[in-house]
Chains A and B, each alone.
Chain A
Amino acid sequence: MEVGLMRRQWIQYIEGLIHEGTLDGQYLQLLQLQDESNPTFVSEVVTLFFEDTEELLNKLRIAISQPPVDFKKIDDHVHQLKGSSSSIGALRVKNVCVDFRTACEQQSPDWCSSCLQQVEQEFYGVKEKLSYLYALEKRILNAGGSIPADLSF
């Protein structure tokens, strides 16, 4: 596929992710930090986010399933996840974390379980979508093209 077409596809895809609320403006801020000398900066940082979050989710699953539930520990993990998801623009993940922290405050095991399920759903959703985007980026770069940086929408 021709580079120009792939770049347009890329732009439309990101536009879609923003319109559906999966990503927010913070992701666009990150794109501005990227340039030709470091064209994979964003995908690298987001990949770190994916790895970090997988570990956090594991810890959360364990903490929730072990009575008596340590709500302080769970809240600490969720606070971490809220921070990193906010930093990369994963809006839905961040929003579930806000609820999750309230569930911890209320010390409700059921509400926490439900939040964990939701956060997993949102996380795996954004992971899948961005993985597709990064595969497209790789093809663009391999074809000698560059990833758009200054998006205005």
Chain B
Amino acid sequence: METSSSSSSSSSSCMKWSCENGYQPHVLAVDDNLVDRKLVEKLLKNSSCKVTTAENGVSALEFLGLLDEHNQHTNFERSNEWQQRSKVNMIITDYCMPGMSGYELLKKIKRSSKMKEVPVVVVSSENVPTRINKCLEEGAEMFMLKPLKQSDVVKLKCQFMN
């Protein structure tokens, strides 16, 4: 997906639109590093996003309601919690995490019937082409390098959260 050269004007107009309408996309940010979690939370909040953070893949899956296959068919759907979960507009995950990696989390999300349409962005401090290709092939909408800047988040919001 290419961003056109007029992206800066379309970015500012889409920001204006979302502010006027009080539209607050809900982003789930997954990172095992506390400092990075705080930063990504701030970047997202500065872009008028509602943020939920998770420190590992398992908590993320739990929040998304993907952890227990059985739960997908229970009264869960009627609770407020489920309403909240079903409205996650984007997931940002770090690639390198102990236990379940960001790549494994990405796979689980993209292979689920419930959440496969939710855009997933993978971030990493390391620029490894094979890693990037792997993620894009598995359905990640984007791969970005850490540390993220405010302009990166504005771009993500415009491309995936409208």
B35 and A87 contacting across the interface, CB-CB below 8 Å: yes
**B residues near A86, Cβ cutoff 8 Å:** 125, 146-147
CB nearest to B35 among chain A residues:
A84
Q: How many residues of A contact B (CB 8 A)?
A: 19
A41 and B35 contacting across the interface, CB-CB below 8 Å: no
B147 and A45 contacting across the interface, CB-CB below 8 Å: no
User: How many inter-chain contacts with C-beta < 8 Å in the A-B complex?
Assistant: 46
Interface residues in A71-87 by Cβ distance below 8 A to B read 76, 79-80, 82-84, 86-87
Stretch at the interface among B38-46, B56-64, B78-86, B132-140: B38-46
Between A and B, 16 residue pairs with Cβ closer than 8 Å are A26-B147, A29-B147, A29-B150, A32-B150, A33-B150, A48-B34, A48-B35, A49-B35, A76-B98, A83-B33, A84-B36, A87-B35, A87-B36, A87-B39, A87-B147, A88-B35
A-binding residues in B (CB < 8 A): 32-36, 38-39, 42-43, 46, 96, 98, 125, 146-147, 149-150
Add 18 more A-B contacts to A80-B33, A82-B125, A84-B35 (CB < 8 A). Answer: A29-B150, A30-B39, A32-B150, A33-B42, A33-B150, A41-B42, A48-B34, A52-B34, A52-B35, A76-B98, A83-B33, A83-B125, A83-B146, A84-B33, A84-B34, A86-B125, A86-B147, A87-B39
